[in-house]
A and B are shown apart, each in its own frame.
Chain A
Amino acid sequence: MKTEYDDDPIINACLSEVLGGHAPPDLAARIIGPDGRTIAQLSAQANEELLAAIPPPPVVTRAPAIEIPADFARKKKSLRRNNQWSIAAIVAVAAGFVGLIVAIGWTTRLKSPQPQIAKVPARSPSLVTPRTPPIANRPAPAEKPVTELPIEPAATVPQPASVVTIPPPRENNLAQQPIEPPASVLPPAIATLPPLKRQSSPDNAVVSFINNQFTQTWKQAGVRPTAAISDAEWCQRVFSRVLGRAATADELQALADDKSASRREKLVRRLLTEKTYANEFANHWSGVLVQAFLGHGGSAANAPASREDLQKYFASALASNKSYGQIVTDLLTATGSPRPGADDYNPAVSFLLDGMTNDATVPTARVARVLLGHQLQCAQCHQHPSQGWSQDQYWSLNACLRQVRADRRDGAVRLVTSPRAATDTVAYQTPDGLSKTATPHFIDGSPLPAAEGGSGQSLLASLAQRVVASDDFSRAAANRIWAQIFDYGFTRPLDDLGPNSKSAEPEVLDRLAGEFAGHDFDLKAIIGWAVLSEPFSRSNKLTDLASKDMPEEGEMALFSRFYSRPTRSADAFSSLAQVARIRSSSSSEREMERARVDWLAQANRTSAKPSPKKAPVIDSPSIVMTGGDPVQRPASGDPSGLVKKLAASQMSFDNKAEHLFLVALGRQPTARERRVANDLLRTAGSNQSIALDDLWWSLQNSSECIIDR
């Protein structure tokens, strides 16, 4: 078809068929073979037949056996006997030689000082059974059982590889020698990141910066941003992302009535500051945070951590406007019981308590990933192959978190301070079997100043301080909050700021992170900047089929369009008609629900061929996706009670239906949509509650719904 006639592709296609005779071909025979198999299956069989047609490799024949002389066996026996005597003689001489060397060595050892070795408490679970030396010569058992491990001498040359630190043995009562960390042990890729510029600019300055940066990026990438959305759609989107619910018709109307140029800024300010919305904000974002910090943990009935109570903690903290930095400090320094009713009830403990074992490996990985954006867990067993994290860095962080442990007593679990000293070491083994130790340090190698007395609690307080002060913390937090608003962060995966995570907008991430820190980690501030930015006001309608901005296909997210959550099935009219049909043909509520889900799942199922670029694994457990796969989960429910309120009101059914259309689609229903809505009422036996429920379900799941889920 000539491009100059692409003005109306539907009419063109129809005219081409009607006038041009281009009728639809019959493809059945091409798709399905004579025996009922598809061409894919036929070609798979053809491949097998081809392979089967290749001749097998030639069989190697054995050489003929050599005839053995008759007296060979006798000669062989004699030779064997002679050989045995020779070997015995050699072994005897060798044994004597070794014994001589050992005797000399033993004599020498008695005269010279003992070499330094690391002593580790035997209860450490990461202790590996050492290789027994050929001559066993273990020291007499000390008061506290320890195990001696031969290790390399200390290295003080700063290098990204693992660094061995040798603490003084405790039972010798040597003075606590300060342990000098290496100058810089950060992986090179992390070390080269510029330090964040922490500043506290006015909101409009931050938003302008974001917008200018994206405009430049889109231009450079040759990407055309989608159209700007209407106020109604924008309003629904803001309510959804900030408060987790749809805007009511009154709230939509309020924005429509405000003709000022700053109406959107005013609305965002209201949602984030007015008491009316404070609880809704806290409830919505507490769900976001618990998902981010715990993932799916703490849900099981017998889980030591309590997801529900942690969420209550988050809700309470957000309602009292606690900063994100303070929340994280609470999480890292919490001790006590996660369950209400206990004397030491402290719901914040669940962050570290979930998965806590004697070796604290699970919380170590979680702290690094969630709070610092680093995938440190690989370095537990070996140096990270691509990011350069060393085992020492992992175990140094682990040593900090060993200051607390899960205490199981009387059927209850609580997080308590461990009786370890703040400078206690942790032993680990390298892949080549060498045993090493690590002391509590931050991941950048810097020591953590413990308070006088060196208690575990003060060490954790130092760790919390160091975490919150680090640039990684600010970046990881900004990335996560942006991803919550836009469904994609600046990096992929979300919680990996390492060298393999590229971002199209590192400047925006850095500015957001710096401003977030400068604003004392005010969550509402960063949310406000995100929803007032240009990318937030872009349509989710894909207009360029070959756009580079396709994170769904593994490309980098450029935010030139709003990435819609799974599309719905049909337009409003079709959706209404379908729901009416399902209700009239279903014999039970359960059957009706199943039919609705089937219908929606079919429409949302995608069958695109795999992209030539392999999409990276999207590992974002921190994104809110409660309830399973959102593709197959229909939009349902009425959290704001809108349908119930309408059903109870005195308005006519027509007006109620109109109200729902306004909220869900931002427009009035057409004549035939009104007709089908009345069909719903008839199908529901004139029960307005049921009919309105059906109507609400249809509209939410139609392709025109402007409510963002």
Chain B
Amino acid sequence: MNPAPPQQAAGFDPVRLIQAYQAGIWRYLRALGCEASLAEDLTQDTFVAVIQRPFNDVSPAATSAYLRKTALNMLISHERRAGRMRPVEDIEQLDRTWTRWAGDDEGETALHHLRDCLDRLTDRARMALEMRFRGEASRMEIAAALEITEHGAKNLMQRAKQQLRECVEGKLTSSDED
């Protein structure tokens, strides 16, 4: 006998739910430090769990918050099963920051702002980040390419990321006030 399809709550559309929120949940898990493959698995688990318990989709903000909470719980359970001691600076702070960055479009605006902010970096800083994230170069390779010490490469990238964060935050705050 075929299992019955999931009980539908008023307005509950699993396909639409996944399409609308999967990117945000995946990004959220990445923001919490997950590798891409783990983020993918946990995103899948999150939606499978949520679909089995249909709910009233009150608003995008509420649904987003609910999905993020579910994803966070999935991550916590995964970490505990793996027995990994991975301290996270402040999960709630990360959660709040990402909530702000995600906004109403699962982070698309924040990423758009990030692209703009990257253009404002110095050439050396941008190059270091491109080598790190596009080329997956090690710190030593980056230092060699830029003719600086490893310590210098580390500082350069940290300052660049700090500038990017402040730039994105500023743009997000301005758009809120508009």
A residues in contact (CB < 8 Å) with B: 1, 4-22, 24-28, 30-32, 36-41, 44-45, 48, 224, 541-546, 550, 553, 567, 569-571, 573-574, 577-578, 581-582, 595, 598-599, 602-609, 611-612, 671-672, 675, 703-704
Can you name 13 extra interface pairs (CB under 8 A) apart from A11-B165, A15-B132? A13-B31, A16-B133, A20-B134, A24-B22, A25-B22, A25-B40, A27-B47, A31-B48, A41-B3, A41-B5, A541-B91, A545-B75, A609-B77
Q: Please give the distance in Å from A482's CB to the nearest CB on chain B.
A: 26
B143 interface residue (CB < 8 Å to A): no
> Does B7 have its Cβ within 8 Å of any Cβ on chain A?
no
A13, B27: Cβ atoms closer than 8 Å: yes
Which residue of the partner chain B has the closest CB to A597?
Answer: B58
Say whether A18 contacts B22, CB under 8 Å: no
CA distance A672 to B176 in the complex (A): 8
Residue interface bits B39-82, CB-to-A below 8 A is 1, else 0: 01001111111111101101101110110011001111101111
Contacts of A599 in B (CB 8 A): 58-59, 62
Taking a contact as CB atoms under 8 Å apart, the answer to whether B65 and A32 are in contact is no
Looking at the assembled complex, report how far the CB atom of B113 sits from the nearest CB atom of chain A, in whole angstroms: 10
Cα A385 to Cα B3 in complex, Å, equals 41
Can you name 17 A-B pairs with beta carbons within 8 Å? A5-B157, A8-B165, A11-B161, A22-B36, A27-B40, A27-B44, A45-B3, A543-B89, A543-B90, A545-B80, A571-B99, A573-B100, A602-B65, A606-B69, A608-B74, A675-B177, A703-B96
Report the nearest B residue to A545, measured CB to CB: B79
In the complex, what distance in Å separates the CA atom of A39 from the CA atom of B154? 44
Does B23 sit at the interface, judged by CB under 8 A? yes
Q: A544-B87, A602-B55, A605-B66 are in contact. Are A24 and B26 (CB under 8 A)?
A: yes
Beta-carbon contact of B61 and A574 below 8 Å: yes
Give, as a whole number of angstroms, the nearest-CB distance from A22 to chain B: 5
Whether B62 contacts A38 by the Cβ 8 Å rule is: no
Select one of B46, B92, B133 contacting A19, CB under 8 A: B133
Determine how close the nearest CB of chain A comes to the CB of B125; give it in whole angstroms: 12
Q: How far is B3's CA from A30's CA once the two chains are assembled, in angstroms?
A: 18
Q: Assuming A602-B58, A609-B77, is B5 touching A37 (CB within 8 A)?
A: yes
Residue B146 at the chain A interface, CB threshold 8 Å:
no
Q: Which 5 A-B pairs have the closest CB atoms?
A: A13-B30, A608-B73, A602-B66, A24-B23, A19-B133
> Does A703 lie within 8 Å of B92, measured CB to CB?
yes
Nearest-CB distance from A640 to chain B (Å)?
A: 27
In whole angstroms, what is the CA distance A567 to B95 when docked?
A: 12
Contacts of A675 in B (CB 8 A): 177
Q: Which residues of A sit under 8 angstroms from B100, Cβ to Cβ?
A: 571, 573
- Report the bound CA distance from A340 to B52 in whole Å: 52
Complexed CA–CA distance, A571 and B61 (Å):
11
Q: Across the interface, do B26 and A25 meet the contact criterion of CB distance under 8 Å?
A: yes
- With beta carbons under 8 angstroms apart, the residue of A12, A22, A48, A545 that contacts B88 is A545
Which chain B residues border A31 with CB–CB below 8 Å?
14, 18, 44, 47-48, 51
Q: How far is the CA of A331 from the CA of B65 in the complex (A)?
A: 48
Give bound CA distance, A605 to B69, whole Å.
8
Asked whether, in the complex, the Cβ of B99 is within 8 Å of the Cβ of A611, the reply is no
What number of B residues sit within 8 Å (CB to CB) of A? 93
Q: How far is the CB of B66 from chain A (nearest CB, A)?
A: 4
CB B76 to nearest CB in A, in angstroms, measures 5
Indicate the member of A10, A12, A672 with the most B CB atoms within 10 Å.
Answer: A10
Q: A24 vs B92: C-alpha distance in the bound complex, in angstroms?
A: 23
In the bound complex, what is the Cα–Cα distance between A582 and B61 (angstroms)?
12
Contact B111 A17 (CB under 8 A): yes
Whether A545 pairs with B161 at a CB distance below 8 angstroms is no
Known: A11-B164, A30-B44, A608-B73. A542 touches B91 (CB 8 A): yes
- Quick check: A578 and B51 within 8 Å, CB to CB? no
Return the contact of A544 from the options B56, B75, B85 (Cβ within 8 A).
Answer: B85
Q: Given the complex of chains A and B, what is the CA–CA distance between A571 and B96 in angstroms?
A: 6
State A258–B44 Cα separation when bound (angstroms): 52
B114: interface (CB < 8 Å): yes
B11 within 8 A of A: no
- A28 near B18: Cβ-Cβ < 8 Å: yes
A703 contacts across to B, CB distance below 8 A: 92, 95-96
Closest Cβ–Cβ distance, residue A275 to chain B (whole Å)? 39
Contact pattern, B 120-147, Cβ under 8 Å of A = 1, otherwise 0: 0000000001101110100100000000
Is there an interface contact between B115 and A18, defined as CB atoms closer than 8 Å? yes
Is B148 on the interface with A (CB-CB < 8 A)? no
CA distance A234 to B89 in the complex (A): 21
Contact A672 B173 (CB under 8 A): yes
Q: Is the CB of A541 within 8 A of B90?
A: yes
Which among B14, B59, B157 has the greatest number of chain A C-beta atoms within 10 A?
Answer: B59
0/1 interface trace, chain B 148-178, chain A, CB 8 Å (1 if under): 0000001001100110110010000100110
Contact of B62 among A5, A7, A550, A602 (CB under 8 A): A602
List B contacts of A598 (CB < 8 A).
55-56, 58, 62
Establish whether residues B99 and A612, one from each chain, have CB atoms under 8 Å apart when the complex forms: no
CA distance A38 to B74 in the complex (A): 18
Q: Which of B48, B74, B81, B84 has the most CB of A within 10 A?
A: B48
Which of A21, A570, A581, A607 has a CB less than 8 Å from the CB of B70?
A607
CB proximity of B86 to chain A, nearest CB, Å:
6
Contact A32 B2 (CB under 8 A): no
Cα–Cα, bound, A279→B90 (Å): 39
- Chain A residues within 8 Å of B30, by CB: 9, 13, 16-17, 22
Instruction: Tell me the complex Cα distance, A599–B69, Å.
Output: 13
Cβ of A553 to closest chain B Cβ, rounded Å: 7
Return chain A residues, CB-CB under 8 Å to B14. Answer: 31-32, 36, 38
- A16: which B residues are within 8 A, CB to CB? 30, 36, 133
Is there contact, CB below 8 Å, between B18 and A39?
no
Q: How far is the CB of A69 from chain B (nearest CB, A)?
A: 53
Residue of A nearest to B162 (CB): A8
- B161 contact set on A, CB distance < 8 A: 7-8, 11-12, 15
Q: A27-B22, A45-B3, A607-B53 are in contact. Are A19 and B129 (CB under 8 A)?
A: yes
What's the Cα separation between A598 and B57 when bound, in Å?
9
Specify which chain B residues have a CB less than 8 angstroms from the CB of A7 in the assembled complex.
Answer: 158, 161
Asked if B15 and A546 sit within 8 Å, CB to CB, the answer is no
Contact partner of B114 among A18, A41, A543, A595, CB < 8 A? A18
Residues of B within 8 A of A569 (CB): 62, 65
A-chain residues with CB within 8 Å of residue B154 when the two chains form the complex: 4
Which B residues are in CB contact (< 8 Å) with A4? 139, 154
- Whether the Cβ atoms of A28 and B19 lie closer than 8 Å is yes
Alpha-carbon separation in the docked complex, A569 to B67 (Å): 11
Shortest distance in angstroms between A42's beta carbon and chain B's nearest beta carbon? 9
Q: Are A603 and B81 in contact (CB under 8 A)?
A: no
- The smallest beta-carbon distance between B38 and chain A, in angstroms, is 10
Which residues on B sit within 8 Å (CB–CB) of A544?
A: 85-88
Contact B84 A546 (CB under 8 A): yes
Q: Are A38 and B22 in touch, CB under 8 angstroms?
A: no
B139 in contact with A607 (CB, 8 Å): no
Q: Smallest CB-CB separation from B73: which chain A residue?
A: A608
Nearest Cβ on chain A to B80's Cβ, whole angstroms: 5
Q: How far is the CA of A1 from the CA of B133 in the complex (A)?
A: 10
In the complex, residue of chain B having the shortest beta-carbon distance to the beta carbon of A550: B80
Question: Could you say which residues of chain B place their CB within 8 Å of the CB of A41?
Answer: 3, 5-6
* A residues less than 8 Å from B84 (CB atoms): 545-546
Partner of B48, one of A40, A45, A605, A606: A40
- Across the interface, which residues of B come within 8 angstroms of A612, CB to CB? 81
**Cα(A196)–Cα(B1), bound, Å:** 63
- Quick check: A546 and B53 within 8 Å, CB to CB? no
A546 touches B80 (CB 8 A): yes
Complex Cα distance A19/B77, Å?
A: 30
Residues of chain A lying within 8 A (CB to CB) of residue B81:
612
User: Who on chain A is nearest to B91 by CB?
Assistant: A542
**Is B87 a contact of A543 with CB atoms below 8 Å?**
yes
Contacts of A15 in B (CB 8 A): 114, 129, 132-133, 161, 164
